[in-house]
Amino acid sequence: MKEYYENPLIERYASKEMLTNFSPQKKFETWRKLWIALAEAEKELGLPITREQIDEMKSHVSDINFDDAEEFEKNTRHDVMAHVLAFGKQCPKAKPIIHLGATSAFVGDNTDIILMKDGLGIIKRKLINVINNLKDFALKYKDLPTLGFTHFQPAQLTTVGKRACLWIQDLATDLGDLEYQEQNLMLRGVKGTTGTQASFMKLFDNDEEKVKKLDSLVAAKMGFERTFPITGQTYPRKLDSRVLQVLQSIAESAHKFAVDIRLLASLKEIEEPFEEKQIGSSAMAYKRNPMRCERITALSRYVIVNGLNPYITASNQWFERTLDDSANRRIVIPECFLAVDSILNIYMNVSRGLVVNSKVIEKHIFEELPFMATENILMEAVKRGGDRQELHEVIRMYSLEASRDVKQGGDNKLIEKIIKDGRFRLNEMEIRQMLKPENFIGRSSNQVVDYISQFIDPILEKYKNILGETAYLKV
């Protein structure tokens, strides 16, 4: 019996990889790695810490005694001290030097940054694979004409591949933002209780060079080149809003794609994958709902709205810090990562299996193309001696009649009317020739080729070692 609320991001949507990244095991293991890095750096800079103490800590870095930590927290009401005591219980020789000179933010904040960095790596890999899927799709359908839409009203033709490049370009922009944030992430480092490093100045007898070296040593041991030069007790919370803004942006792009596919599915032009035993509706057996893209839009909306949270938190930090960020960040940061991970899992799945119904697309084109072709017909008729004003009025009247017929369920007879009107001085073959859809797509095909070769292929070449990933969807 399942008695308690279960988070759908965990139970239904997010990958094991992202769940593991924000798991208690990884979090507290990273705390222990930070304590080890701190002890090693302090030893290297001359504090009386022994190799035996460090080796003892290393031997227990992964076997976290959660029960002990939970019991300690009941009494201390402090999660960091609970884990200091739990680690010390396993490492009696190292106990005196665990967390030496540090404040809670040393493990809490630095770990948050590390988890976000690793989370961005997971997101980046999936984002690149979605781009690769869409690239293949765009090239495959670069020449297939389709109705363009503005205001969801029929407009000039484009191609299916050209439209896909709009989706790709959004994601490529997101990737650039992600790479920038990833490359510029800094660790909080070793800054003490209010960011002044006063406790470490005390430990190292006011030797500033050693205190500065301690900061850079710990960062290097944890895989970072830089630390924030200035902090309060915590790293600037603007880091959270900047990272989550990248996740919001990915959600925006995915939402746009998913809504486009939902609209196209309604038109029966392009559909998401639909499995053999999948049920579209519990009541209407014939239905084929775009449920995956609907899920993308639902999760994307959650990320976009939730992404407001870190801005409010960052703007509300009093002086060197306030604790009203803590409970909020424990929820907001992991869940935004889990949600975007879920979005990209679905996006990968959908983008690999899009179904293009070319006959339906062609049918829709020829329902609208006669109206679009009238300008070309008019110009050619005038070249042959026709009266431009007279023929313009004729086309206007024929168009109104044809539009009325279509809205009443009939066929579009506009071209037939023009063919039969001798004032246009064009025979049927000449007029039909003007109705070829490929005459109305402009540079669409070559735009696809140029964009992919100039902008997308270099990205995919850079990341070629991580291409080919597929996504498993639980539901």
On whether the CB atoms of residues 173 and 249 are closer than 8 A, the answer is yes
On whether the CB atoms of residues 42 and 214 are closer than 8 A, the answer is yes
pLDDT at position 431 is: 83
On whether the CB atoms of residues 340 and 247 are closer than 8 A, the answer is yes
Q: What is the pLDDT along the chain (475 residues), one digit of tens a residue?
A: 778 898 999 999 999 999 999 999 999 999 999 999 999 999 999 999 999 999 999 999 999 999 999 999 999 999 999 999 999 999 999 999 999 999 999 999 999 999 999 999 999 999 999 999 999 999 999 999 999 999 999 889 999 999 999 999 999 999 999 999 999 999 999 999 999 999 999 999 999 999 999 999 999 999 999 999 999 999 999 999 999 999 999 999 999 999 999 999 999 999 998 765 544 554 444 447 899 999 999 999 999 999 999 999 999 999 998 888 889 999 999 999 999 999 999 999 999 999 999 999 999 998 888 888 888 888 888 998 998 999 999 899 988 988 898 889 888 888 888 889 889 888 888 888 888 999 999 999 999 999 999 999 999 999 999 999 888 787 7
Q: Are residues 336 and 388 in the same domain?
A: no
278 domain residue, yes or no:
no
97 domain residue, yes or no:
yes
Q: Are residues 409 and 315 in the same domain?
A: no
pLDDT at position 381 is: 86
Dig out the tokens for 238 from the structure.
Answer: 């603007």
CATH number for 188: 1.20.200.10
- Rounded to whole angstroms, how far apart are CA atoms 212 and 214? 5
pLDDT at position 285 is: 43
pLDDT at position 474 is: 77
151 domain residue, yes or no:
no
Q: Are residues 419 and 380 in the same domain?
A: yes
Q: Are residues 312 and 415 in the same domain?
A: no
Q: Are residues 430 and 452 in the same domain?
A: no
- Rounded to whole angstroms, how far apart are CA atoms 301 and 455? 29
| 32-42 burial: b if 16+ Cβ within 10 Å, else e | bbbbbbbbbbb
- Rounded to whole angstroms, how far apart are CA atoms 64 and 457? 45
Q: Among 402, 400, 220, 255, which residue's Cα sits nearest to residue 340?
A: 255
H-run or E-run covering 287: none
CATH number for 404: 1.10.40.30
Q: Are residues 212 and 290 in the same domain?
A: yes
183 domain residue, yes or no:
yes
Question: 372: domain range?
Answer: 360-440
Q: Are residues 167 and 82 in the same domain?
A: yes
149 domain residue, yes or no:
no
- Rounded to whole angstroms, how far apart are CA atoms 244 and 181? 10
pTM of whole model > 0.85?
yes
Q: Are residues 197 and 165 in the same domain?
A: yes
Q: Are residues 125 and 6 in the same domain?
A: yes
The residues annotated as belonging to the active site are 151, 281
1 domain residue, yes or no:
yes
Q: Are residues 107 and 233 in the same domain?
A: yes
**Backbone CA torsion sign across 424, 428, 433, 436:** positive
Q: Are residues 402 and 470 in the same domain?
A: no
Domain count across the chain: 2
pLDDT at position 282 is: 44
Dig out the tokens for 22 from the structure.
Answer: 């924000």
152 domain residue, yes or no:
no
Q: Are residues 320 and 467 in the same domain?
A: yes
45 domain residue, yes or no:
yes
The position carrying tokens 């005694």 is 65
Q: Among 235, 200, 129, which residue's Cα sits nearest to residue 467?
A: 129
3-state helix, strand, coil in the chain (%, to 5): 65, 5, 30
